[in-house]
Amino acid sequence: MSGKKNTSLDRVLGRLDSLDSVNLANLVQRLARERGLFEDIFNTLQEGVLVITSDGEIEYANAAARRLVGVGDGELAGETLWRLVPGLRPSLGTVFDEAAGGAALPVMAREFELTYPEPRTVRLYMVPFRGTGRDAARRFAVILTDITRDKQSTAARIEDERNASVRLLAAGVAHELGNPLNSLTIHLQLIERKLKKLKLAKGADAEALAGSIRICRDEVARLDGIITHFLEALRPRPPDLAETDLAEVLAEVLRFQQRELEDRGIAVEAETPAKLPPVMADRNQLKQVFFNLVKNAVEAMRPGGRLRIRTRVDDSNVYLLFGDNGSGIRAEDLGKLFQPYQSTKAGGSGLGLMIVQRIMRGHGGQVSLESKAGVGTVVTLQFPQKNRRVRMLRS
């Protein structure tokens, strides 16, 4: 059926009351044929297509979607996506709470794991829309893509991709190390000349020598940080899990970054309960995750920006939400952000979010991101509670 207004069918529907029984029967047959055509089209798609309300009630699901979430034909009446995929609702953040208020909602993209009817890794892409009519309710179009086979086949391509990655990393490391190496070389030469001329370092010469040594030490420390960052991306290590208080680690990271936040004029609102359920985590890797997310948020905001950190808890998981009111991310860039060398920042390496995702998967958790260009970004970290670990997703 044409998408234009005032089609022949629209005109017929407009005078529905005046149709006789023959024309009415023809109209019903025509509508049934067009409905059948669209059903056939949607059911041939490999991607699952759902339409849900703000309460998660499923109003439509094509054959692929029913297969993925494990329901048969005719079993969707009154069914909700939240019951079929436990744990999905809280991990999607505040978007459904805001839907009732009529706020402009972001496009969302994330990955999650299904265990029923069989283990599956699924990529979700969700877009809000409103139907026609003055009182039309807010709904969400949900696209589900089964990426299980892609995940499993990734290992077969690792060797070729690794060679390309090593070359790219080497070029990046060489570029990053160039300036500090030059500086080190110059100051080491100065030290060498001073040592040849001085038998005993005293006075101004001693101070100059000490200054050169300090510069060398600082540059070496910077080199070490750059190398560590790249090696972490290249050679991830398994987490050393121990019972951990997320709020305590977060507070430590925020204290460390307090000076930078103040210098940039960024306010932080961190609301964490005094006692969150413990999780099993690697404390140092968690610091890296929190540091990267705070750094990304700060770089996305102008002076006067606000970083809001919230927590949520359900029966199985602990959630940390990092929200900023920065520049946001375009919908077409969302799906690329967890890939290496994909960055929306000038000069960015694209490794930060990739490392965050790898660490979260190593902890049996998940990371999801929702954003709207010009409004801001919310990153949600989902950690399984200590008493209920879930099977981790492979990197």
The pLDDT value recorded for residue 311 is: 93
Is residue 17 located within the same domain as residue 73? no
Q: What is the pLDDT of residues 305-361, one digit of tens each?
A: 999 999 999 888 999 999 999 888 887 777 666 665 455 555 444 567 878 888 888
CA-CA distance, 354 to 341, in Å (whole number)? 9
User: Residue 220 is part of which domain span?
Assistant: 157-234
Q: What is the pLDDT of residues 108-142, one digit of tens each?
A: 888 888 877 788 888 888 888 876 666 677 889 99
**45 or 219: which carries more pLDDT confidence?**
45
Is residue 21 located within the same domain as residue 67? no
Find the range with the poorest average confidence among 102-111, 193-202, 271-280, 281-290: 193-202
Is residue 274 located within the same domain as residue 172? no
pLDDT greater than 50 at residue 395: no
Is residue 179 located within the same domain as residue 226? yes
Is residue 75 located within the same domain as residue 114? yes
pTM for this prediction: 0.49
Is residue 311 located within the same domain as residue 264? yes
Which of 126, 146, 166 is the C-terminal boundary of a domain? 146
Q: What is the pLDDT of residues 376-390, one digit of tens each?
A: 899 999 999 987 644
The pLDDT value recorded for residue 214 is: 72
Please check whether residue 287 is in contact with residue 258, taking contact to mean a CB–CB distance below 8 angstroms: no
The reply to whether 196 falls in a domain is yes
Q: Are strands 317-324 and 306-313 parallel, antiparallel or unpaired?
A: antiparallel
- The enclosing domain of 328 has a CATH number of 3.30.565.10
Query: What are the C-alpha distances in Å from 72 to residues 61, 166, 193?
Result: 10, 47, 82
Is residue 347 located within the same domain as residue 249? yes
The pLDDT value recorded for residue 11 is: 61
Largest CA-CA distance found in the chain, in angstroms, rounded: 115
The pLDDT value recorded for residue 15 is: 66
pLDDT greater than 70 at residue 13: no
Is residue 251 located within the same domain as residue 376? yes
The proportion of the chain whose per-residue pLDDT surpasses 70, expressed as a percent, equals: 68
Q: What is the pLDDT of residues 222-242, one digit of tens each?
A: 676 666 666 665 556 788 899
Which of 234, 268, 284 is the C-terminal boundary of a domain? 234
SS3 of the chain: CCCCCCCHHHHHHHCHHHCCHHHHHHHHHHHHHHHHHHHHHHHHCCCEEEEEECCCEEEEECHHHHHHHCCCCCCCCCCEHHHHCCCHHHHCCCHHHHHCCCCCCCEEEEEEEECCCCCEEEEEEEEEEECCCCCCCEEEEEEEEECHHHHHHHHHHHHHHHHHHHHHHHHHHHHHHHHHHHHHHHHHHHHHHHHHHCCCCCHHHHHHHHHHHHHHHHHHHHHHHHHHHHHHHHCCCCCCCEEECHHHHHHHHHHHHHHHHHHCCCEEEECCCCCCCCEEECHHHHHHHHHHHHHHHHHHCCCCCEEEEEEEECCCEEEEEEEECCCCCCHHHHCCCCCCCCCCCCCCCCCHHHHHHHHHHHCCCEEEEEEECCCEEEEEEEEEECCCCCCCCCC
| Mean pLDDT over each residue of the chain, to the nearest integer | 77
Please check whether residue 109 is in contact with residue 335, taking contact to mean a CB–CB distance below 8 angstroms: yes
Is residue 178 located within the same domain as residue 275? no
The pLDDT value recorded for residue 42 is: 86
Q: What is the pLDDT of residues 360-380, one digit of tens each?
A: 888 888 888 888 888 889 999
Query: Residue 265: which residues within 8 A CB-CB, separation 6 or more?
Result: 303, 304, 305
The reply to whether 365 falls in a domain is yes
Q: What is the pLDDT of residues 59-91, one digit of tens each?
A: 889 999 988 888 877 677 678 888 888 778 877
The reply to whether 390 falls in a domain is no
**230 or 299: which carries more pLDDT confidence?**
299
Is residue 361 located within the same domain as residue 264? yes
The pLDDT value recorded for residue 389 is: 46
Is residue 161 located within the same domain as residue 134? no
Reported as a pLDDT band with limits 50, 70 and 90, residue 205 is low
Is residue 86 located within the same domain as residue 122? yes
Total domains in the fold of the chain? 4
The pLDDT value recorded for residue 1 is: 41
